[in-house]
Chains A and B, each alone.
Chain A
Amino acid sequence: MIHSLFLVNASGDIFLEKHWKSVVSRSVCDYFFEAQERATEPENVPPVISTPHHYLISVLRHRIYFVAVIQSEVPPLFVIEFLHRVVDTFQDYFGVCTEAAIKDNVVVVYELLEEMLDNGFPLATESNILKELIKPPTILRTMVNTITGSTNVGEQLPTGQLSVVPWRRTGVKYTNNEAYFDVVEEIDAIIDKSGSTITAEIQGVIDACVKLTGMPDLTLSFMNPRLLDDVSFHPCVRFKRWEAERILSFIPPDGNFRLLSYHVSSQNLVAIPVYVKHNITFREGSSQGRFDLTLGPKQTMGKAVEAVLVSSQLPRGVLNANLNPSQGTYTFDPVTKLLTWDVGKINPQKLPSLKGTMSLQAGASKPDENPTINIQLKIQQMAISGLKVNRLDMYGEKYKPFKGIKYMTKAGKFQVRT
């Protein structure tokens, strides 16, 4: 399976290598660098590269390429999914997954990689098991370790691997028992020039933060489970129960985890929370372009639209933009031609707008495409699909936990074509 792993940073240096079988020379990465040079954008490096003796499968996260070296047939998704799991674990351990963080914790990283793969085959990928084996470094622990010389490696053996619920640590204890669930929905949409919706979908997740003592058994039921068209579960969820009763029943992992991700079918009408009035024009022969953008709330069910951020990739011919926002701030990067406008909250009484001119390269012909506008936004306390959690019950433990459910709607890949 996975032979070796190389971590490559944005400037093309290998800053970490790990081999699970015999050592593969790092020169194998030259093929990767070649492909990297050929690709115009960093994300255009093909995830699978074939070399004479090996195959390189890579993922790009946090501006770091994780390049796995494979020698024989293996499902590419298997490797990709695993690499992402590695990144998630690093993020979980160090808070961020940057080159600096990895270098600072190189020993922990090595220990983690050692546990996660055995001979290239995934062994322990559940974060709960890993945390039992190797304690995540915290500032306090680092200080204590330097003074007392104690270690990050768990003293007790990884009994979790033997458990019937491998995702949960045993012997969990909390003084405050609490369980929080965040229902977060993202709207993916493409809006065309005239403002009509070309495609819109809702993708939702339920992220949980469960800190409960012992072995609690939770059930979560919805008011309107029929909304959920396609779901994928954390392995802890009992699938049969969902099939039969549309109830989520599970023994939760300890800490943060993604309980469920779902899809609300595109057949349902999706409420689009904002509209955009735009007038972006370039005139042939003139070195000026007009830029005029106004945002307004559309179907928000009375909730405020917050944290609105508009970004747009302007055509290459644009030299500079001289704009005037009615609220918020805007920036224009003349190198990448990226315009971002941090709008903030939309006030329905006074709609935010961004107006002004763009200066174009003299003599250059008019760009043939208007830029697309990407919008990010947040609406608190509402799930746009209308999904509602009915109740959350706990069995198996005696105490009364504190329960909380939060709803939020965000814009996912929300694009307006102009």
Chain B
Amino acid sequence: MSASSAFNDEKGGSSSVGEPEYGHDPASGGIFSSDYKRHDDLKEMLDSNKDALKLEAMKRIVAMIARGKNASDLFPAVVKNVACKNIEVKKLVYVYLVRYAEEQQDLALLSISTFQRGLKDPNQLIRASALRVLSSIRVTIIVPIMMLAIKEAASDMSPYVRKTAAHAIPKLYSLDPEQKDQLIEVIEKLLADKTTLVAGSVVMAFEEVCPERIDLIHKNYRKLCNLLIDVEEWGQVVIINMLTRYARTQFLNPNINESLLEEGGGGDKTFYCSDEDEDEDEEKEKQAEVSALAKRKPYVMDPDHRLLLRNTKPLLQSRNAAVVMAVAQLYFHLAPKAEVGVIAKALVRLLRSHSEVQFVVLQNVATMTIKRRGMFEPYLKSFYIRSTDPTQIKILKLEVLTNLANETNISTILREFQTYIKSMDKDFVAATIQAIGRCATNIGEVRDTCLNGLVQLLSNRDELVVAESVVVIKKLLQMQPEKHSDIIKHMAKLTDNIQVPMARASILWLIGEYCEHVPKIAPDVLRKMAKSFTNEEDIVKLQIINLAAKLYLTNSKQTKLLTQYVLNLAKYDQNYDIRDRARFIRQLIVPTEKSGALSKYAKKLFLALKPAPVLESPFKDRDHFQLGSLSHLLNAKAGGYQELPDWPESAPDPSVRNVEVPEWTKCSSREKRKEKKVEKPFYSDSEGESGPTESADSEPDTGSGSESVSVSVESGSPSDSEESEESSESDEDEEEEEKEKKKKKKEIKQMQASESEQSSEDDRKRDRKIKEQKSNSESESDEDSESESSQSESSDTESEVEVKKKKKVSEPKPPSKPLKKEKKEMSLLDLDDFEPTPSPQVTPVNTFLSNSLVTDLEGLSLSDSVLSPATIAPSSALKNYELLHRITGEGLSVEYCFSRQAFSPDANMVAVQMHFTNNATSDTKNLHIEDVKLQSGMRVKEFAEIELLPAGEATTAVMGVDFCDSTQAANFQLCTHTRKFFVSIQPPVGELMRPVFLTENEFKKEQSQLMGMNEISENLTLDAKCRNEHAIVQRVTTAANLSRVPCGSDKECSPAAPPPPPPHPHPVYRFAGKTVTSGSLVLATVATKDEGAAQLTVNCEKMVIGTMLVKDLLLALTQ
């Protein structure tokens, strides 16, 4: 029966109707012994309506899978339940699906749509789990779907979903390595993520997919170092191992000076190298100067190198052995000699752990002790062996003890060894004897003591012990044979008793080698051996021949016949090796007529002085493998092992690690599970797990306390006390920040100093330079920045210097047709790919046109509405915000408004018009901006310095800010010649977009693609004064920079229509725009209903923007 059931199992999907089919043999049915049944029964249960039955069936199926039984023929019945409401059934179906989908590819496709739906779910956890299962299904057909899903999830606003996306990357890669390039893009994007949740997973993906792309790490290096302590423990291991490799390629060997000093001459080269290190922190402008100063300085560690060492050190305290080991290997490979010592204590602590952990740790300690013996010397006693240790642990401890032995501690170690020799564990005893031998060879002082001890062991009752001793003694004797002929004699006697072949062979070799020292005994030994020749083991026979040959050469008189007898015996031996040897030796030593020239040298051949063997640790030179790795443990390269590179001769350019916001100080500590945003110390809410794409943390200007984004709600949960502690403990951090601030200030001052000397033409150059620098320091993939810099250059060259100082002319719309087309493509891409990249593809067209026009139309103020249809709302009602009050500004008051005009130097920036009024009695000079503090990704284009603002006068200036589609404030200092004022500009969400012209049809089409979680709608009651078309349009366009969509045939909506009475069919007002930075579409719809009721719908793929916009519009329409 078992055969038939196996047969049925193999058949898989075929649901046989004929014979009753038994899924498993009853004998092993222990798990569900109560009712084991046929698969038909399970199918019935799965088809039933009752969840309880389904669950029971699924449990039984999972139990079958767990035992390795084939349950694949149930696939069709199971896969139906993938959309089951019961959560446990669902989970078990997932388990089943992931297990069998590979075998049943076609049927598995049935389940895909369920997951695709799940990917759009508003709940982040459901999105994540859908992605998890979808990516675990190994069906090649769905690779494109997985790719899309991963890309989309990588820019999800929930860090948990992004983490899942990172997990999915290696899954897809193993399914289809062709996708590598695309996956690298996603990895690059996720590497820039700032949340601890994502960091570990994405580095893991990096290691599996593209470990060779070390260049992707540059930008994220400091961030990873800083986040490290807060990453979950498994992620820490992966990150630390990766950073070890990274550091080996980027920094200089910290021990290089020592080795050079020892050699006695530090060449120019080292000095040159250290220069580069020095420069690390300096700005580029100062580089040349500083490097000149730094000449002739000794090695200084790169601050980034130091950062890594400093931030990993606390992790030695981790409870996770893998983390401790990872840090230990990092220190071993990267730290200066003097600092490596700290890891010893932690490693010794791990020896208390499970024996498997001990095993691995001891292997690594053994390797370390060879290079850095001093490190573990204080812990010598921790390696003492207990009789209860498993043998493999004992042997490893022995290895460590041997490595640690030196002149001072050898006596204690030998005393300890003495107790080990008496152990009942004979393998261990043998290893101990070898260890003694190694100690004896390494430490000359104790050689005699050891030898005597070993000789005593020769009288041991246990044969293994004696044999091992003989082998070791043989090696030791080779070092100084003259002294020890009595030992050799003693050993010769042993041949009668010892049966272990290796030992017998060793004795024979010894006697042969030193036959001159024992001239009387040697021939007698040969005589005995000749007698027993036929019964010996091969290895012994070879040594008998060897002995015979040597004796023949030295003492042929006595041994000639014996030798010939032995050789004759050997001639007919079964082993061809022995026959060969015998023939060879006969030719060589017995002089005949035919014997060639070689026989003359026979004596030289056999009795040459043999070098003493070096007893080496098997762990020697293992450290060329990265410690803690599998390859190191096996002493063989494992698949996927990344070589630990050698230190570079000279350090690569350290500035590649510079990021835009250098204030990434070490803000993390265990206290703060959240990142601290240095730039925004006031908003406690802003600390949160804000990812790169989301920026929901800061509240909109209107300041309602509640936030609608789930993540930020979550982050608000920690107790108050934590907050207070943070402040007390972040002192240190703040100090550091302070320092950095000062540094920055200094730099800027210097820049200014140079600046004031230069003419305004130089200004332009400098601007460009800064831009370039910025774009350099942004991640390379950030096409935004690239296009921006190139574009800014073009604008610089094309336009005159003044252009950017003046109020910007909004670009007249290029003919709307081509633009529209482009836009449509873009939004499609956006939906599918969810990449911010499309925007630069669009904007350059836009700005290129505008730039050329800007020069011509300079000074003219054209609003968007000019070229767009007349329905576009007037943008006249600009709201003014106060930047600096007259009193705090000591007479200087500044107001700003969002001019809603394109900022021509950079289309991705929002133009901010500042109005300066000098109410003081004295003149204000040198008005300019300093110390700009921004969230990463944000950029600011400062207005040109205002040289003089006479008392009582007023002036305006325009600056551009790229808010990155977030409502984060841009903080900076407004400086006059005497004072500095901290100010910040925070944009209302409505200002983060620019109007876009769409027809109604286009609008509807776009809208239909932004459904689901990208759509937010709200019911409201319109304000009494706001029930006519004009008022609604007015209020919406005031609140947000959107343009009205003309409503084609709808007469009521035409601008000419008389406003007062509510039109018969309730009119719908549509507004369109796109975000300034990423160019995502923002669609707003106000559908009026009876009696002032209305529904407001906003569609935007940036959900954060959408949510906030809804809030703002709601406020505008109801008040």
For residue B722, CB closer than 8 A to chain A, the reply is yes
- Whether the Cβ atoms of A368 and B460 lie closer than 8 Å is yes
Task: Check: B357 CB closer than 8 A to any chain A CB.
Answer: yes
Residues of A within 8 A of B95 (CB): 110-111, 114
B128 to chain A: closest residue by CB:
A161
Interchain CB contact under 8 A, B349 and A263: yes
Stretch at the interface among A224-232, A325-333, A347-355, A399-407: A224-232
Q: Tell yes or no: B461 within 8 A of A by CB.
A: yes
Query: Would B461 and A72 count as touching, CB distance under 8 A?
Result: no
Q: A373's closest neighbor in chain B, by CB? A: B387
Asked if A44 lies at the interface with its beta carbon under 8 angstroms from chain B, I say yes
Least Cβ distance of A288 to chain B in Å?
19
**A141 contacts B by Cβ under 8 Å:** no
* Chain A residues whose C-beta falls within 8 Å of the C-beta of B391 in the assembled complex: 40-41, 44
Residue B988 CB within 8 A of the other chain: no
Cross-interface CB contact of A149 among B55, B346, B381, B719, cutoff 8 Å: B55
A385 to chain B, nearest CB (A): 15
B170/A119 in contact, CB under 8 A: yes
Give the residue among B124, B229, B232 with the most A Cβ atoms within 10 A. B232
Dominant SS at the A interface? Answer: mixed
Contact among A73, A152, A266 for B638, CB-based, below 8 A: A73
Which residue of the partner chain B has the closest CB to A155? B87
Are the C-beta atoms of B357 and A107 separated by less than 8 Å?
no
Residues of A within 8 A of B50 (CB): 149
Contact in complex: A238, B345 (CB < 8 Å)? no
Tally chain B residues at the interface, Cβ within 8 Å: 117
Tell me if B821 counts as interface (CB < 8 A to partner A).
Answer: no
Contact B319 A241 (CB under 8 A): no
Asked whether A80 lies within 8 Å of B640 as measured between CB atoms, the reply is no
Given A15-B67, A149-B52, A233-B317, residue A77 in contact with residue B325 (CB < 8 A): yes
CA distance A165 to B196 in the complex (A): 12
Cα–Cα, bound, A266→B352 (Å): 14
A238-B670 contact given A75-B628, A106-B31, A230-B345, CB 8 Å threshold: yes
A76-B630 CB under 8 A given contacts A107-B92, A121-B167, A149-B55: yes
**Residue contact A48 to B387, C-beta cutoff 8 Å:** no
Measured CB to CB, the closest approach of chain B to A416, in angstroms, equals 10
Chain B residues whose C-beta falls within 8 Å of the C-beta of A166 in the assembled complex: 232
Contact of B382 with A106 in the complex, beta carbons under 8 Å: no
Query: Quick one: CB contact mask for A254-291 with B, threshold 8 Å, 1 for yes?
Result: 00001001010010000000000000000000000000
Q: How many residues of A contact B (CB 8 A)?
A: 111
Choose among B160, B357, B416 the residue that contacts A80 (Cβ–Cβ < 8 A): B357
Q: Mark A67-97, 1 if CB is under 8 A from B, else 0.
A: 0001111111110111010000000000000
Q: Does B520 sit at the interface, judged by CB under 8 A?
A: no
A413 contact set on B, CB distance < 8 A:
386, 388
A322 proximity list for chain B (CB < 8 A): none
Inter-subunit contact B714/A234 (CB<8 Å) = no
Taking the closest CB of chain A, its distance from the CB of B358, in whole angstroms, is: 9
CB pair B91 A72 closer than 8 Å: no
* B residues 722-757 in Cβ contact with A at 8 Å: 722, 725, 729
Choose one: A19, A230, A315; the contact of B349 (CB below 8 Å): A230
Closest to B358 in A: A47
Give chain A residues whose Cβ lies under 8 Å from the Cβ of B629.
73, 75-76
Assess whether A241 is in contact with B229, with CB atoms less than 8 Å apart: no
A230 and B350 alpha carbons, distance in the complex (Å): 11
Q: Check if A258 sits within 8 Å of B319, measured CB to CB.
A: yes
Interface flag for B153 (CB, 8 Å): no
With CB as the reference atom, state the residue of chain B lying closest to A87.
Answer: B354
| A72 and chain B: residue at smallest CB distance | B640
A375 to B854, CA, bound (A): 91
1/0 contact trace for A360-388 toward B, CB 8 Å? Answer: 00000101110010100000000000000
Q: Are A23 and B322 in contact (CB under 8 A)?
A: no
The A-contacting residues of B in range 322-380, CB under 8 angstroms, are 322, 324-326, 345-346, 348-349, 352, 354-357, 359-361, 379
* B381 CB contact (under 8 Å) in A14, A19, A199, A243: A199
Asked if B66 is at the interface (CB within 8 A of a chain A CB), the reply is: yes
| B674: Cβ under 8 A from any A Cβ | yes
Q: B66 touching A55 by the CB < 8 A rule?
A: no
Of A80, A153, A241, A258, the residue contacting B356 (CB under 8 A) is A80
CA distance A198 to B412 in the complex (A): 10
State whether the Cβ of B148 lies closer than 8 Å to any Cβ in chain A.
no
Alpha-carbon distance between A255 and B812 when the two chains are bound, in angstroms = 66
Q: How far is the CB of A13 from chain B (nearest CB, A)?
A: 9
Tell me if A190 is interfacial: C-beta within 8 Å of chain B.
Answer: yes
A320 close to B (CB within 8 Å): no
If A114-B91, A166-B232, A241-B671 touch, whether A313 touches B317 (CB-CB below 8 Å) is no
CB contacts (< 8 Å) of A14 on chain B: these are: 68
Cβ contact within 8 Å between A73 and B631:
yes
The interface residues of chain A lying within 8 Å CB-to-CB of B241 are 75
Question: CB-nearest residue of chain B relative to A6?
Answer: B68
Contact A123 B237 (CB under 8 A): no
Interchain CB contact under 8 A, B669 and A84: no
Query: Are B317's CB and A73's CB within 8 A?
Result: no
Task: Collect the chain B residues with CB atoms within 8 Å of residue A50's CB.
Answer: 634, 636
Query: Cβ of A163: which chain B residues have Cβ within 8 Å of it?
Result: 714, 717
- Residue contact B382 to A266, C-beta cutoff 8 Å: yes
The answer to the question of A128 belonging to the interface, with a C-beta cut-off of 8 Å to chain B, is no
Q: How far is the CB of B341 from chain A (nearest CB, A)?
A: 13
Determine the distance from Cα of A157 to Cα of B127 in the docked complex, in whole angstroms: 12
Q: Does B1119 contact A (CB under 8 A)?
A: no
Chain B, 51-84, contact with A by CB distance < 8 Å: what is the 0/1 string? 1100100010011011110000000000000000
- Taken residue by residue from 75 to 103, chain B's Cβ proximity to chain A (1 for < 8 Å, 0 otherwise) reads as 00000000000111001101100010010
CA distance A153 to B168 in the complex (A): 24
Chain A binder among B417-425, B504-512, B522-530, B977-985 = B417-425
B321 within 8 Å of A (CB atoms): yes
B234 close to A (CB within 8 Å) = yes
Determine if A84 and B628 form an interchain contact, defined as CB atoms under 8 angstroms apart.
no
A298 at the interface (CB under 8 A from B): no
Distance (Å) between the CB of B55 and the closest chain A CB?
7
A21 to B164, CA, bound (A): 16
Contact in complex: A368, B422 (CB < 8 Å): yes
Name B986-1025 residues within 8 Å CB distance of A: none
Kindly list chain B residues whose C-beta atoms are within 8 Å of the C-beta of A239. Answer: 229, 314, 317, 669-670
Question: Quick one: closest A residue to B317, CB to CB?
Answer: A232
Q: Are B640 and A73 in contact (CB under 8 A)?
A: yes
Q: Determine whether B204 belongs to the interface, using a CB cutoff of 8 Å to chain A.
A: yes
CA distance A264 to B352 in the complex (A): 13
Out of B318, B381, B671, which one reaches A266, CB within 8 Å? B381
Residues of chain B within 8 A of A149, CB atoms compared? 50-52, 55
A75 proximity list for chain B (CB < 8 A):
237, 241, 322, 325-326, 628-630
Query: Which listed residue, A23, A81, A151, A415, touches B386 by the CB 8 Å rule?
Result: A415
Q: Once the chains bind, are B633 and A198 in contact (CB under 8 Å)?
A: no
Q: Which residue of B lies closest to A216 (CB)?
A: B719
Decide: A395 and B386 in contact? CB cutoff 8 A: no
A17 close to B424 (CB less than 8 A) = no
Kindly identify which residue among B158, B321, B424, B462 contacts A81, using a CB–CB cutoff of 8 Å.
Answer: B321
Docked CA distance A48–B392 (Å): 12
> Is B267 positioned at the interface, with any CB of A under 8 Å from its CB?
no
On chain B, the residues within 8 Å of A372 by CB distance are 386-387
Q: Which residues of B contact A233 (CB under 8 A)?
A: 317-319
Does B171 belong to the interface (CB within 8 Å)?
Answer: yes
- Chain A residues within 8 Å of B886, by CB: none
Q: Give 12 CB contacts A-B under 8 Å.
A: A23-B99, A48-B634, A55-B638, A77-B361, A80-B356, A82-B234, A153-B87, A162-B124, A198-B384, A235-B670, A238-B671, A313-B424
Known: A47-B359, A81-B322, A153-B88. 20 other contacts (CB 8 A): A44-B390, A71-B640, A73-B638, A73-B639, A77-B321, A80-B321, A80-B360, A110-B65, A119-B136, A122-B234, A123-B167, A153-B91, A162-B159, A162-B160, A203-B352, A235-B318, A249-B725, A313-B424, A372-B386, A396-B720
Nearest 6 CB-CB pairs, A to B?
Answer: A72-B640, A149-B52, A151-B88, A396-B719, A369-B422, A199-B381
